[in-house]
Each structure stands twice: as structure tokens, then as C-alpha cells.
Amino acid sequence: MLHSGWGETPDVKIIYGRWQDVLPELHSYDGICFDTYGEYYEDLRKCHQHLSQVRPDEVYSFFTGLSGDNAFDHSGNCQMVALKLAHKGCLTQSVPPVKDCLRKYGTDSRHKYWQLDTYYL
């Protein structure tokens, strides 16, 4: 994130920490992005309970690896999250990862970061 220049971008404030620790301190922002990759659905659900704090025109973005090694489970879990967010009045959009990242990240570890052809981001 810092390497990409986000720390130098005007009107961008990077807050370090787990969402569980920093979310109660946040006020109103134009956009919030959390990387919840290593968390379980229950953790993500608890995070989404705080969405009432955000402005109606705000962008909320998160990445999750729910069942990231099983295409069927991943699709079902992410569709469940989208339905739960729709119930809260949120519109959701999924974006497939750029294919080049498959070669670039997570190829040297026992559990590859990118294993499927498509992820719901």
C-alpha cells in the first residue's frame, strides 16, 4: 500500500490495526477498505454490523478469502455475504483478480494466496 504511493495521496488516511480495534474510533469517511482475508465469516459478519456508521454515499470495500481454496464453497459463501449486505441496503459488486497476480504473489508458500480462477472481491 505504501509502496504503491497511497501514503502520499492527498485526502487518504491510512489507519493501521485490526478492524476490531480501529472501527469504533472511525468517524465518517468517503471510503473504507478492509483486508479481512484471514478471518472467518463470523468475524466478517460482526464487521458488517457496524455499517450503519457509514454515510449513504460511502464506498465500503473488503477482500475476503472465504473458502478460498474451494470454488463451490467460495462462491456460495460470498453470495451469502452479498445477500446479507443487500438486506442492509448495500449494493455489492465482485471483481475478479488480475491474472498476473497469480504468478506474482503467494507461489512460494505451502498455501497459495491465489488458487482459484476467480475470487469474489
Q: Is the pLDDT of residue 103 over 60?
A: no
Using alpha carbons, list the distances in angstroms from residue 101 to 19, 49, 68, 114, 115.
25, 31, 15, 8, 11
Question: What are the pLDDT digits (tens) for 19-76?
Answer: 788 877 777 667 777 766 667 788 888 888 877 766 677 777 777 677 777 888 888 8
What number of other Cβ atoms are within 10 A of residue 35's Cβ?
13
Distance CA 32, CA 54 (A): 9
Q: Give the predicted TM-score (pTM) of the model.
A: 0.64
At residue 30, φ and ψ (nearest 5 deg) are: -75, -30
Mean pLDDT for 81-102 is 76
Distance CA 12, CA 69 (A): 33
Beta-bridged to residue 32, according to DSSP, are 60
